Chain A
Amino acid sequence: MTKIVQRRKATLLDRSYLWEIMKGMGITMRHLVKNFRNPEKMQLMSYPEIEVKVPQDYRGSHRLMKRPDGEVRCVACYMCSTACPARCITIEADNSADPRIEKKPQKFEIDWLLCVFCGLCVEACPVDAIRMDSREVSLSFGSRKEFVADMQRLTAWKPEDFPANDSQSQRAPGGTENQQARKIWGLEVKSV
């Protein structure tokens, strides 16, 4: 159904334009007075001084998950670097010491200058090893070299900064959680 909106014909007052300008200037002046009187009520944050509160599911920079034994969860399958449209992930594989797992990354580097933060690597990962929930949004460094994050930097996150009880737990099956491991991977986990 079409709704016909009857346009009001512009009166002489409207067409003189001056009255409408004054109304507009009244609006801007109201904003100015309000903000001058109560600057604390403005919807803004003075950025570097006041910390930005990023939500938990914000897609920030990457972090690599770890198994309970401290090893990186990544199995060096190259799924993420294949999915990556910016080709910013460099992986070099090595033999894994864990008999259940074929490979582990010897080198895992993300170039944040190339990265487009699309999140396809997270989608592609079969073992939930890479996540982008670090809530780190201000990537600013002094040199280009520092923008390339190696494995040590990607795994240097503190468990207490992340909720322990979300559905995709940060703690991988293994160690004392054999029950869970069997359910997910159908495998027995070697105790360390």
Chain B
Amino acid sequence: MSDFPHHSLLAWAVSLGRFALVFIPLMTIVVMIFLERKGASLIQDRLGPNRSAIPIFGGLRLFGFVHNFTDGIKLFTKETFIPSYAHKFWYAIAPGIGFLVAMLTPSVIPWFAPLAWTAGGEIERVSGTLIDSDTGILLMFALSSLSVYGTVMASWASNSKYALLGGMRATAMMISYEVSMGLSLMGIFLITGSFNLQHIVAWQETHVWGIVVQPVAFVVFLVSMIAETGRAPFDVAEGESEIVAGYHLEYSAMRFGLYYMGEYAHIMIASIIIATLFLGGYSIPFVSTDCLRAHVNVALFLVLAGAALALIAFQIKLRHWKSIYPSFNATDTKARLTEYSFLQVTTGLATLGVIGLAAVALIALHPSVLSTVDGVGYFAPWVTLATAGVQVAVLIAKAFLFCWIWIWVRWTLPRFRYDQIMSLGWKILLNVALVNLVVTALIAKLIVGGR
């Protein structure tokens, strides 16, 4: 009747279900803020925030994890103050733009290898990205560059000199680092021969990771990305010692919270992009997607076993805390020990559950080729879906590696001076990226003989 291909209900459900992946960067904000606070405190020889508590079992502090939620409650219930001299409309919508970008950018990221299964004798395919476009990475750049509009709009609409200075700095930095960022990736595009992120990841899956073939580009891109997110040592846009708080100076309550959370969402997205471009994305080294599908029960077992190991490591830490806490002679010793016991019991049960699930996954699940069409074997839908789940987990694990680098760099390096940032961007990174591109082109021409 029409050219529109017939799809099974499952294909529709999976296609729509991919939209949930867009929320992954937003959901990781909570973990990121916790990681940032604890990482910062341990680097600076502090304990970090740990006082907010859920009033059960002697005050459930969860080692400071509750602080995220109290922060959220505070930001939501505070008064949204609008200065009388601000441009009301632009002031109100500016914080949304950065957050909107944080919601849009994940749509071009390949979260898992393209799914394919047979239904009613026909092959059904579902792409691993929401927008499976050949402009892929360019679209991503276009979207992520939009976030600076939120910054500039906020700084202009605030009608405050400090905010305007911060906005101008953010713009200048954006322009400087976008150039070297784009150019550093040209080598990758040259080698993989595609702008499509799916293709780039597929190339890395069958050849080697991007970091091996383009180590210089990796460093340039990482530095440019840190500058792009406006984090230390490139956080002149909100340099407290010079311009108070920069572009979000006049913002309060949840409008400020949107900037604060948008920053972490931005970091997570940048980390996912770096992992996709240079660390093989969702792929596992030496294991192709087909191989992964054929042994998905082992893969699930390994992922769950990793989770169980993490839980056991947490319990060891808990035991340590429980043994040392009485020696502090603190007044809340009893409450803390109650809390630690509670956590021991719950994490112990969770560990048992995860181990049980891992055992079930290893023993009970048997992936096998369900049908063969034109000599290509297709697995059952649940096998491809489980593989996709494993791949999403792998991608997020890789991304968290970079998230930690963001935090680590922030609490190690002091802030660059503004002119130093400009000279680093224009005089060093840009030239390094250009030379890298020329050298890559030459080598590619000599070895591969042109494409």
Contact = CB atoms under 8 A, between A and B. Distances in A.
Do the two chains belong together in a single complex? yes
Nearest to B324: A40
A51 B330 CA distance: 8
Interface residues of A, number: 21
B287 interface: no
Contact of B328 (A24, A32, A35, A46): A46
Contacts of A42: 45-47
A28 B412 CA distance: 6
B394 to A, nearest CB: 24
Contact of A32 (B42, B327, B329, B332): B42
A21 B324 CA distance: 35
Interface of A is mostly: helix
Contacts of B409: 21, 25
B411 interface: yes
Contacts of A48: 331
B292 to A, nearest CB: 32
A31 B43 contact: yes
A21 B412 contact: yes
Nearest to A42: B45
Report, as a range, how many residues of chain B touch the other chain. 20 to 34
A50 B45 contact: no
Nearest to B335: A49
A22 to B, nearest CB: 10
A31 B45 contact: yes
Contacts of A4: none
A6 interface: no
A43 interface: yes
A48 B408 CA distance: 30
B443 interface: no
B321 interface: yes
Interface in B317-339: 321, 324, 327-332
Interface of B: 39, 42-47, 219, 321, 324, 327-332, 408-409, 411-413
12 contacts: A18-B219, A29-B408, A32-B39, A36-B42, A39-B321, A39-B324, A40-B324, A40-B328, A43-B45, A48-B331, A49-B331, A50-B331
